[in-house]
Amino acid sequence: MRRQLGSDAGLTARMFLTMFLLAAVYLFFLAVLWQAGVSYTGIILFVGIMLAVQYYFSDRMVLWSMGAREVSPAEAPELHALVERLAALADLPKPRVAIVPTSMPNAFATGRSPKHAVVAVTTGIMQRLTTAELEAVLGHELSHIKNRDMTVLTLASFFATVASFIMQHFFYWGGAFGGRDREGRNNAMVVYLASLVVWVISFFLIRALSRYREFAADRGAAILTGSPGQLASALVKISGSMARIPDRDLRQAEAFNAFFIIPALSGNSLMELLSTHPSLERRLAYLRKLEREMEDWR
């Protein structure tokens, strides 16, 4: 039986507002470029190609970077069975399955679309979680696939990447911003400052959007498995285990925090405002709220 993932009106509204603010920031950025007479076609084309490569080959790049290996049903029958069952409930094509040989307990999903998706789990998470908890984690990752989060975040970050590119290559691209006379230098400075403002604002907005997508995936997992408590238990176990993982392993994995179900942080945790994920406390509170709602549904 297929299960509808449902929706959270408040969460949907916050995601919509964040996307609206991002669009407003990007329109402002384009207006500044236009007024400054910037020949930005080449920049946008270059960044577009760069993001397209990332988008279309993200699954291969992430798996390769993490040292993940795709496994067949014969190699991991229980894991494949869980993924297949959840995919059927979510009305998704069964994604490819991979295992990462590391003691760090985590899981992630990547791929440009449901038909080109892959779900990966670490050996550490399989050793630490019960079958029900692992199923809840896989439900979270399949919800990311269902919600097309890779596509959403790639599109949301497009002009932020353009702004970052301009800042990093300001002097090289200076000639494209109006020439070497005084007016041209003024235009160049306006474009640089606008790029800086756009990058800073979009950084926080994209982080907020990423956190909202995590809440949505938690909701999807709770409804797919019918047990928010199992996901809450898994999150507590994963988070607690991170403290025992060597700093070197955490630093190596930090670049992929946006993909993980729990970010790999070395040293002190970052402020939630800067994080791609909500705090553990907020996620547990949200899951408790979902559990109460699901009891009312029954």
Give the catalytic positions in this structure: 141
Helix axes 158-168, 182-225, angle to 10 degrees: 140
Separation of alpha carbons 130 and 69, rounded Å: 22
Helix axes 158-168, 41-66, angle to 10 degrees: 100
Q: Are 43 and 166 in contact (CB under 8 A)?
A: yes
The C-alpha angle 107, 111, 113, rounded to 5 degrees, equals: 125
User: Which candidate, 157, 166, 156, 202, places its Cα nearest to that of 40?
Assistant: 166
Helix (H) or strand (E) holding 69: strand 69-70
